[in-house]
Structure 1
């Protein structure tokens, strides 16, 4: 059995994955991370667990042969809970979730939980490993210091920078609940006085030919190109922008593969910019990034490739 950890609003990507597992006669269990709370019955021992979901479906850890950590969301709290207890509720259920997951650390994961957590929560680590593996990365500062940011702007940004939050706001493919990347120009610097209350990442603005969303699956690449030269972020591009299939140069594939292996990731959604300077600029990798739009619009078999990779690793593990 394959355990798929996702969330209650997930569809399409996850449905494709489950349809493929069904076609291969492989059982699965869907665990919605946001509902791993009072609605589930969960018991964790030192080397096993049992979970019964709100529909009455039960899973034992001994039957789980592999895990796809598709998407993790914040745990929902009950409406009737006194707000004074919310911090305790989330803390204890978060601890229970972590203990639950570590019981399965010896079975194959996509991606290994601890590796993914380190990469997903550390933009500067990503840039360091990317640069180490011969990828072009933009100069970057993550700061709450107005003077340091201003100095960075004049030293590296040639009059135009981008600023973005590290990841505190959820992003969807439709742009819902999205705080997009913000363009900073010289006359914007006077508005940095409140930066102490919200540190942000700053990078020079890259003049781009187009943007690339690269889905990496253990050495295989599924690449979508979007002509979005006028917007700072393709997620807020106008509706007349469409994805097209793209072939990366071999040296970029080799460097990305080396980076992903060093990070210990089997899958990830990578954002790059093809600059007007001719370089491919690495921006970030999201281990749980979206790729449904590429499978839907370009007929890439991404869900099937993820399933095949996990099945292969389960078979070699047994």
Structure 2
């Protein structure tokens, strides 16, 4: 592993806890400075300035000089773009400016701040990203995920994305009423039990009578997979760190979504996965251009690993906290490995 004298910029938010701290600790232990940037503190407590000057060319029309640079600073530190070797993009959160502004100016300032922040940070194009926000955003496409997962040889549930009621009715009949509904976009970033989360839910005959609402909000429907267990796999640059959801009773195991389980019941257990599954996951993640992701998989009663989705910036802290999986160490090593 190469060492780097440049710093690693770690983008997160002010309420992030041990995952960011673990990674920065590993970076510092390796002699590389990890700089924490709380994205929600811009622009009130973080300053970002980017400058770009006209290029200079010689008599043969060859580029001689092109001055482009970004500086990021807080009360505690300052870093120049030229001193950034890699960027870990964990989370981005929009700043709350309501303590300083109100009315129309609040909305305008919030939009402008977020736009400029993302423009300047995402423009750090000459460094390694884990992963670049543009790639993360493109990878949120669940339809693309399922198509590329299938192409990589992963098993997937029969799936329907639609706002056409008749398609849902036919899908329901085709799988003898054993289907579930879910949303494409998450309402939470937590691995805990969120109060506002719309869980994966079973579709019933009563639901079929109220499909007219699909015209306002399409949904995803899938064949329900009878599960042995569910897995979350943290993927870091070709390495898989799998964990099994531990639900103590048979009733708990029937949950369609493990996030419904009380925190005192649902926790994590070690599990080994076949090397063939690891190989297919690598092919899939490469096709998504992702070096990091939190992958959700169901192990069904026929011992098939059914791919559900990958979260490009998904949570993994509880896996390391409970099982001591070296995820943060591998994230730090990957950032150093590819650092300029």
- 1:147 aligned onto 2:171: no
Q: Which residue of 2 aligns with 1:159?
A: 177
- 1:16 aligned onto 2:22: yes
- 1:91 aligned onto 2:111: yes
Aligned Cα root-mean-square deviation (Å):
1.8
- Structure 1: segments with no counterpart, 5+ residues: none
- Helix, strand or coil for the counterpart of 1:48? strand
Q: Which of the numbers 258, 261, 266 marks the counterpart of 1:234?
A: 258
Q: 1:87 to 1:152 in 2, by over 3 A?
A: farther
Taking the aligned partners of 2:129 and 2:306, their CA distance within structure 1 comes to: 29
Greater helix proportion? 1
Q: Which of the numbers 161, 167, 183 marks the counterpart of 2:202?
A: 183
Aligned residues: 312
Alpha-carbon distance, 1:304 to partner? 0.6
Q: Which of the numbers 145, 157, 172 marks the counterpart of 2:190?
A: 172
Rg larger for = 2
Q: Which of the numbers 122, 125, 130 marks the counterpart of 2:149?
A: 130
Q: Structure 1-normalised TM-score? A: 0.91
- Structure 2: segments with no counterpart, 5+ residues: 1-6, 53-67, 248-252
Tell me if the contact between 2:48 and 2:72 (Cα under 8 Å) persists in the aligned partners: yes
Tell me if the contact between 1:224 and 1:244 (Cα under 8 Å) persists in the aligned partners: yes
Alpha-carbon distance, 1:114 to partner? 2.3
Q: Which of the numbers 50, 66, 84 marks the counterpart of 2:71?
A: 50
Alpha-carbon distance, 1:56 to partner? 4.4
Taking the aligned partners of 1:137 and 1:101, their CA distance within structure 2 comes to: 36
Q: Which residue of 2 aligns with 1:82?
A: 102
Alpha-carbon distance, 1:9 to partner? 1.0
- Helix, strand or coil for the counterpart of 2:168? helix
Q: Which of the numbers 60, 77, 80 marks the counterpart of 1:60?
A: 80
Taking the aligned partners of 1:266 and 1:172, their CA distance within structure 2 comes to: 21
Taking the aligned partners of 1:223 and 1:101, their CA distance within structure 2 comes to: 32
Q: Structure 2-normalised TM-score? A: 0.86
